[in-house]
Structure 1
Amino acid sequence: MLLCEVWVFIIGNIIAGTARNLPQLVAGRLLAGVGGAELTHERQRSSYLNLINAVFIVADSLGPIIGGVLAKSGNWRWIFLLNAPVGTIITAVLIYAVHIKHYPNGVPERSQATVKKLDLLGMTLLICWLTLLIVALNLGAGCAFAAFVIAENYATHPVIPMGLFVTWHSRNVPIITVARTLLFFHLFATTFYLPIFLQVTGKSSVLAAALVIPFLLTAALSSIAMGHVATKFGLVRPPFLFGLAILPVGMGLMSTIDERTSLGKVVGYMLICGLGFGAGTQTSMIIPQVGLSEDLLPTVTAFISATPNLGGVLGVGIIGTVINSEFRSSVSNLLGSEDVPQHINDAVTAAMDPITGPEVITAYIGAFRLGFRILAGIAAFQFVLCLALGKVVLSGGKPEILDVSPTEDKVALERPGTVTQTEKDVGIEEVTRET
C-alpha cells in the first residue's frame, strides 16, 4: 500500500511536470494528491510527532527556496519532476530498510473481517463533501454533508462516529477538529501570502521564501517544548491555550507591516506567530485522544490527522479570495478605472511596472493587511472557542476528561509503584527485575 501511494504520487508529479496545458497540470496535481495521502496512524507518540514536525520544517523551509530558484530560472517543471529520482530512492529505502510483519498463512480472519466492515459509503460521501466544499459549490457541499451524516448514523463502523459531536462530555473532539483546522488555516495562509507580499515590495523570490524559515523553525521548537511539558508534567491544556493566546497577537502585528517595515521586524513578528502556532500542533493531537475507548482511538486519530490538509486548502483559498478581491478593488480605485489591466492580476510582475508599480504596491499592502486582520480575528475566535475544552487528565490508568475550570488544570501523573501498560506488555519478569 505504501509503495503504491509513493508511485501514484510520483506519476502524478510526472504528469504535472510534463503538462502542455492547464487541465493536464491540474490532473497531475490531483493524482499526486491521491498518492500523497497519509496512511492511518496508530496512537501518536510524542517522539514520533517531533520527528514528523522536524521533517515538515526541513521540507517546508527548503521546498519554497528550491522552487523559487527553479521558477526564476525558467525550469518550473523540475519542481514536479524532481520527485521521480527522489521517489526511486525512497522506494529502495522502503524495500530494504522497512520491515513489516508478514503472515505466511495469509491475512488473519480478524483483519479480513475488519476490511469487510469498512465504511466505504461514509468515506466516499466524506470525500465528496470536502471536495465540493473546497471548490465552493455550496449547494452540492450541503447536500453531500447531509447525506454523509445520514450514512454515518446507519453505519456499523462509521468513519466518523456522530456521537462524538453531539454530547457535551466528548466536546473536546469537535472543538479540536475546528481548532486544529484553523491552526493550519493560519499556517498555510501565512507561508503562502507572506512571500508574495515580500516580492511585491521588492524582495527576491529566494529571500522571500527564506524569510518563512524563522516562522517554521520557531514553530518546531515551540512544538517540541510544549510536547516535553505535556510528557514531563502532564500539562496539556495550558500549553495549548498559551499558544492560542499568542497567535492573534502575532497575526495582528503582521497586519501592520508595509514596504518600509524592516526585515528585523518582519522576522520578529514571524517568530511570535511561529511560537503561537507551534504550541498547539502537538497538543492538539493529544487532547481529542484522551478519554476515548480503544475502538474509537484510531478513527479519531486519523480524522484529526486529516484536518491540516483541510485547513491548508481553506486558508489559502479564503484568505486568497479576500486579498485578491481587495487588491483588484484598490487598484481600480487608484487607477481611476473599473477595468483593471490583465497584467495587474499578477501582483509580483505588476509591481515592477514603472507606470502602475506604485499603485500596485500600495493596493497589495492594503489587501495583505486586511487578510491578516481577518486571520487575527479568526485566531481570537479560536482561542475563545477552546476555553470550553474539558480538562485533560493523563494518569497511569485509563485517561479521562473531567469538566472543571481552566484554572484547575492540574494533571495526575503516574504514581510510583503502579504497573503501567508498558510493564504489562513486557511481562511480569521485566517488572520484577525493574522493581
Structure 2
Amino acid sequence: MSLEKDPATKSLTDVRSMDGRPSNSASQSTTRIQSAENVNPSGPPPPDAKRGFFFIMVLVSLCISLFLSALELTSVPVALPTITDQLHGTDFVWVTSAYALAATSLIPAMGGLAEIFGRKFSTLLSLALFAVGSAVCGAAHNMNMLIAGRAVQGAGGGGIQALSMIILSDLVSLKERGTYNGLLGLVWSVATAIGPLIGGAFAKSGNWRWLFYLNLPLTGVVAFIVVTCLKLKTPRSTFREKMGRIDWIGNIIITGSASSAVLGLTTGGVTHPWTSAQTLVPLIIGFVGMFCFAIYEFNIPKEPIMPFLLVSNRTSISGYMQTFLVPIVVLSVLFWEPTYYQACFDASPIRAGVLLLPVSASIGFFIIISGASVAITKIYRPQLWFGWITLIISAGVISTLKWDTPIPKAIGLPFLIAIGGGIVFPNALFPVLAPLPVSENAHALALFSFFRSFASVWCITIGSTILNNQLGKKLSPEILSNFPGGASGVFSSIPIIAMLPTEAQIQVKVAFAEATSVIWETMAGIAGLGFLISLIMKGLPLHTGVDDRWGVEEQEKAKQAALEAEKEAVVVSST
C-alpha cells in the first residue's frame, strides 16, 4: 500500500518513494495546506502479519536503550559531588550540560539521517558514539577529559533517544502507543529505581568510573540485536545520492545555534554573570540562529529536517511546548533532591539514592497507568490536564521542605512529582503526532526529542543559577571561604559539610534548604505555564496506521506472499 492512496495524507506532505525523492503531485499539493488538524492524518493500517521474533527483539533493544538512558539520568547526579571532588573540579554543571549540549545539537541531524540512510545505520552510529563517550568518561583523570567524554556520550545518547521513538513509531500505530509506552515505563521504573542506588554505591566505594563502564556491555548487546534483528526496510539509493539529500546548511545552522544557546545557558549565572558578554553573546547568537534555522527550513530545502508542517497547527505546537516544559520540572526532582538530602541530612550518595526511591521507583508505574488509560479511552487531554495540575501542587508542597524537616515528610512530598510526571512526560507525545501524517513521524519525533533534551539544559541552568545565587546571598564570606570557588564550590564540597563546626553546618544546611525551596517555587510557576499551554490543544483521533515506507521486512515478505497466493487463487478459480 502506498501513502499516495491516502488523499488526506497526500495533501499534507510530500509522498516519497524509498529512494527518497518526493513525487511531483505531492509536492504541488503541499501548497494547498490549510490546517493539519482539519484532515485525517492516519496512514495505511499496519500489516496483518503476526508480530514475531524480530519485532520482539527490536522491542527488547528499545527497552535496553531506555534502560541506559534512565540509568544515566538518575545515577550520575547522585555521584556528581563525589566525582567532582575526586577530580578536583568546580565546574560540576558542565558534567551534565556537556551531555545535554551534544545531544540537543545533534538530535535534528539524527532524525534526518534516519530518513536518508535508514534506521539501522543511524542507530549503530549513535550506539558507537555513546560507547566511545562512556569509555572516555570512565577513563577520565581530570574534569576536562570527563566533560569531553560526556559530550561524545551525549551525541550518541541523543541519537539513541530519538531513534528509539522513531523505530517504535515505524512498528506501532499511535492508537496502540499507550500500551507500549506502559511497557517502556516499566523499564524506566526499574532503571530509575536502581540508578540512584548504583550511583550512590559506586560513589561511596570510590568506583564511580563503573557508572560509565557499565554502559559498554549493554551498548554492545543493543548493537548486536540491531545488527541481527532490526529488519526494517532501507532506502534504496547510492551513498552519493544519500549524501546529496542531506540538508547540510540546515544541520550546520541548528548545530551551531543550539550549541551556542546551551553554552550561554550553562555559563550564565555560574561562571559568568547573566549580564556579561560571555553569557549574552552566545545566547543571542543561539536564539537568533534558531529563528533563522526555522525560516530557512520552512522555505528553502527540498528535504528539510524540520518541515513547516510540524508546527502548522496549534495542537502540535501545544504538544511541543509541553514536551519542553515537563522535563524541567520532573528532572529537577531527580537532580536537586539528592543534593538536598546530602547537604541537609548528611546523607551519603547511596543513602540519598535510597531516600529518592519513592520517586524514582514509582514514576514508571504512573507511566504504565497513564499509557494504559490512553490506549483504552483513545483520548489524551484529560490525562495531561490532571498531570499538570498535580505537578503544580507537587512543586508547591516540595517548596515547604526545610533543613530540619522530618525525613518521612522529606521523602514523601517529592513522591507527588512521580504522579504528575508519570502522566505528562510520556503523553505529551500524543498532541504532537495526532494532527500530523504518519509520513512525518521521523521529523516530528526528532524535534520532540530536541525539545526534551534542550529542556534538560534549562533544568540544570535554572536550578544551578538559583542555587548559586541563593547560597551566595545567604552564606557569610567567612563560611564561603571554607569552599574553593565560593558559592559555586559549595556543591562540589557537600561531602565536607559534616566536618564544619556545628554553627557553620547549620548555616550551610539552612541556605541549601532555602535555595532548593526557591527552585521548587520556580518549578511551580513553570508547571502552571505548562497547564495553560495544554488548554489550547484539540482532542484529535489517534492514528490507526503506520508509515509503510518502513517496517519489519518479515512482515513485508509475509504480505507479499499473501498477495501472490491470492493472485494464484484468482487464476485457479478463473480457469
> Structures share a fold, TM > 0.5?
yes
Q: Against the structure 1 CA distance between its residues 286 and 426, is the aligned structure 2 distance closer, same or farther, given a 3 Å change threshold?
A: farther
CA distance in 1: counterparts of 2:543 and 2:208, whole angstroms: 52
Cα distance, 1:164 vs structure 2: 4.2
Decide whether the 8 Å contact of 1:351 with 1:358 is kept in 2: no
CA distance in 1: counterparts of 2:480 and 2:149, whole angstroms: 36
In the alignment, structure 1 residue 5 sits paired with structure 2 residue 126:
yes
Q: Against the structure 1 CA distance between its residues 425 and 380, is the aligned structure 2 distance closer, same or farther, given a 3 Å change threshold?
A: farther
CA-to-partner distance for each residue in 1:405-430, whole Å, 9 max, x for gaps?
A: xxxxxxxxxxxxxxxxxxx9998999
In the alignment, structure 1 residue 171 sits paired with structure 2 residue 314:
yes
CA distance in 2: counterparts of 1:395 and 1:92, whole angstroms: 32
Find the partner of 2:231 among 94, 97, 100. Answer: 100
Could you tell me which amino acid in structure 1 is paired with residue 506 of structure 2? P
Decide whether the 8 Å contact of 2:323 with 2:452 is kept in 1: yes
| 2:537 equivalent in structure 1 | 389
Q: Which has the higher helix share?
A: 2
Decide whether the 8 Å contact of 1:343 with 1:350 is kept in 2: no
| 1:353 equivalent in structure 2 | 499
CA distance in 2: counterparts of 1:140 and 1:336, whole angstroms: 39
CA-to-partner distance for each residue in 1:210-245, whole Å, 9 max, x for gaps?
A: 232322333222222222222212221111111011
| 2:154 equivalent in structure 1 | 33
| 2:11 equivalent in structure 1 | none
Q: Once superposed, what is the RMSD of the aligned Cα atoms?
A: 3.0
Cα distance, 1:54 vs structure 2: 2.5
Cα distance, 1:162 vs structure 2: 3.2
| 1:208 equivalent in structure 2 | 352
SS at match of 2:532: helix
CA distance in 2: counterparts of 1:212 and 1:12, whole angstroms: 27
| 1:130 equivalent in structure 2 | 258
Q: Against the structure 1 CA distance between its residues 51 and 119, is the aligned structure 2 distance closer, same or farther, given a 3 Å change threshold?
A: farther
CA-to-partner distance for each residue in 1:300-329, whole Å, 9 max, x for gaps?
A: 122113322221121012211111211121
In the alignment, structure 1 residue 148 sits paired with structure 2 residue 290:
no
Scaled by the length of structure 2, what TM-score is found?
Answer: 0.63
Using CA pairs below 8 Å that are at least 6 residues apart, which structure has the higher relative contact order? 2
Find the partner of 1:196 among 321, 333, 339. Answer: 339
Could you tell me which amino acid in structure 2 is paired with residue 126 of structure 1? I
Decide whether the 8 Å contact of 1:331 with 1:340 is kept in 2: no
Cα distance, 1:380 vs structure 2: 0.9
Could you tell me which amino acid in structure 1 is paired with residue 415 of structure 2? L
CA distance in 2: counterparts of 1:312 and 1:74, whole angstroms: 27
| 2:422 equivalent in structure 1 | 278
In the alignment, structure 1 residue 51 sits paired with structure 2 residue 199:
no
Could you tell me which amino acid in structure 2 is paired with residue 143 of structure 1? V
CA distance in 1: counterparts of 2:541 and 2:519, whole angstroms: 37
SS at match of 1:56: helix
Find the partner of 1:70 among 194, 198, 202. Answer: 202
CA distance in 1: counterparts of 2:156 and 2:545, whole angstroms: 39
CA-to-partner distance for each residue in 1:246-304, whole Å, 9 max, x for gaps?
A: 10100111101123323322333222111111111232111111121233333112211
Decide whether the 8 Å contact of 1:177 with 1:307 is kept in 2: yes
Could you tell me which amino acid in structure 2 is paired with residue 313 of structure 1? V
In the alignment, structure 1 residue 316 sits paired with structure 2 residue 460:
yes
Could you tell me which amino acid in structure 1 is paired with residue 149 of structure 2? G
SS at match of 1:219: helix
Find the partner of 1:119 among 230, 242, 247. Answer: 247
Q: Against the structure 1 CA distance between its residues 84 and 296, is the aligned structure 2 distance closer, same or farther, given a 3 Å change threshold?
A: closer
CA distance in 1: counterparts of 2:300 and 2:357, whole angstroms: 47
CA distance in 2: counterparts of 1:216 and 1:262, whole angstroms: 20
CA distance in 2: counterparts of 1:219 and 1:427, whole angstroms: 43
Decide whether the 8 Å contact of 1:237 with 1:392 is kept in 2: no
SS at match of 2:540: strand
CA-to-partner distance for each residue in 1:320-365, whole Å, 9 max, x for gaps?
A: 1111211121113xx5788674276234234313322111111111
The answer for unaligned runs of 5 or more in structure 1 is: 399-423, 431-435
Could you tell me which amino acid in structure 2 is paired with residue 139 of structure 1? I
CA-to-partner distance for each residue in 1:81-136, whole Å, 9 max, x for gaps?
A: 2323443444444445x242577xxx524998676433232233222222211111
Decide whether the 8 Å contact of 2:319 with 2:432 is kept in 1: yes
CA distance in 2: counterparts of 1:216 and 1:32, whole angstroms: 23
Q: Percent identity?
A: 23
CA distance in 1: counterparts of 2:153 and 2:127, whole angstroms: 9
Decide whether the 8 Å contact of 2:310 with 2:436 is kept in 1: no
Could you tell me which amino acid in structure 1 is paired with residue 295 of structure 2? I
State the number of aligned residues.
Answer: 396
CA distance in 2: counterparts of 1:297 and 1:313, whole angstroms: 25
CA distance in 2: counterparts of 1:259 and 1:322, whole angstroms: 17
| 1:416 equivalent in structure 2 | none
Alignment of 1:196-345 (within 5 A): 196-202=339-345, 203-332=347-476, 341-342=483-484, 345=489
The answer for unaligned runs of 5 or more in structure 2 is: 1-120, 265-281, 547-558, 567-575
Greater alpha carbon shift after TM alignment, 78-87 vs 270-279: 78-87
Could you tell me which amino acid in structure 1 is paired with residue 303 of structure 2? H
CA distance in 2: counterparts of 1:240 and 1:89, whole angstroms: 35
Could you tell me which amino acid in structure 2 is paired with residue 134 of structure 1? V
CA distance in 1: counterparts of 2:242 and 2:178, whole angstroms: 28
Could you tell me which amino acid in structure 2 is paired with residue 27 of structure 1? A
